[in-house]
Chains A and B, each alone.
Chain A
Amino acid sequence: MNLTSGEAMAYNVLIVDDSPSIRSAVKKIIEISGFDVGEYFEAANGKDALSVLEDNWADVILTDIHMPVMDGISFFKEVLKDPLLSSIPVVFVTTEGSEGGIEESYKMGAKGYIKKPFKPEEIRKVLVEVLGEPDGTREDTPSLEGSDF
């Protein structure tokens, strides 16, 4: 496993969604939020995400729930079974927005829940809760205000 998360406090992020455009939008939001990201990893479903995690370390996982092959809940259960991976904070980014579903996710150990359609501020807020405030020293960091996804 390639453990690169300790280098200069850069975070590795794994984005799991069957929609490439959603993965692209989430990545863009993280980039403009000022977080120092080491590497972005992407996967189209839970099974592919587990393969990614076999060879790479992620400091946070953002995952959809409704995906073919392996859904986000099954993926999360697999992550929780692994003593090493279970320490990675998992955030759901999904159209599933029922109170029951949200409650269930938190009971399982999810660190955040973002409902689609989301605003960039919502993703940033959850990532700040999970990873802490970005250093904000990047001069090229644009404002999130007025952007929706």
Chain B
Amino acid sequence: MEQEKTLQVLKEVIFSVFETMFFLFPEAVESEKDRPVNPDEYFRAFLYLNDNKWLLILRGSEKLADTMAKNFLGQEGPVDEAEVADVFREAVNVIAGNFLLKLDGGDRVSLGVPEVEKCRRFHREETVREFDGDLVFNLGGEFCEVSIKGIDV
């Protein structure tokens, strides 16, 4: 029950942050058929919480990250990769802060400094689970997932 509650809180925070910051409306993936294809290139942003005991990871396809950056910066033209990475990094930061706030009021659990990197998919087979998110989202066909490590989920 606690696990479900924790993931529900995280899911609600994802919905809220994507809507408010990026004008995007994620759909939680509940079945394989709704799962977007694994992206060949993607951004991975992460940060440690609770004195490095928990790790929050956000992964999103390159196209999704680009859309997030354009929407956040109000830019119609191309956004350079450094800006895309920075916006994606800020996304995990805001998600983490709001997650902790909803989870325990934000008073007890510390927040680290987020990091971001662009990654290339290692496994080519769709069946290989290179991505192991606790929550997977579909944003207009683009892949996004969130993992929380170290906490009981």
Contacts and interface: CB of A to CB of B under 8 A. Distances in A.
A115 B101 CA distance: 11
B86 A21 contact: yes
Nearest to A65: B111
Interface residues of A, number: 26
B90 interface: yes
Given A97-B97, A116-B94, A21 B83 contact: yes
For chain B, the bracket of interface size reads 20 to 34
Contacts of B55: none
A19 B16 CA distance: 20
A143 to B, nearest CB: 13
Nearest to A147: B74
A45 B106 CA distance: 22
A99 interface: yes
Interface string B91-102: 001101110010
A28 B96 CA distance: 25
Given A68-B113, A96-B106, A117-B21, A25 B97 contact: no
Contacts of B50: none
A52 B12 CA distance: 39
Contact of B98 (A22, A28, A97, A147): A97
- Which of B16, B20, B89, B96 gathers most chain A CB within 10 Å? B20
B139 interface: no
Interface in A52-111: 66-68, 94-101
Interface in A1-37: 18-22, 24-25, 28
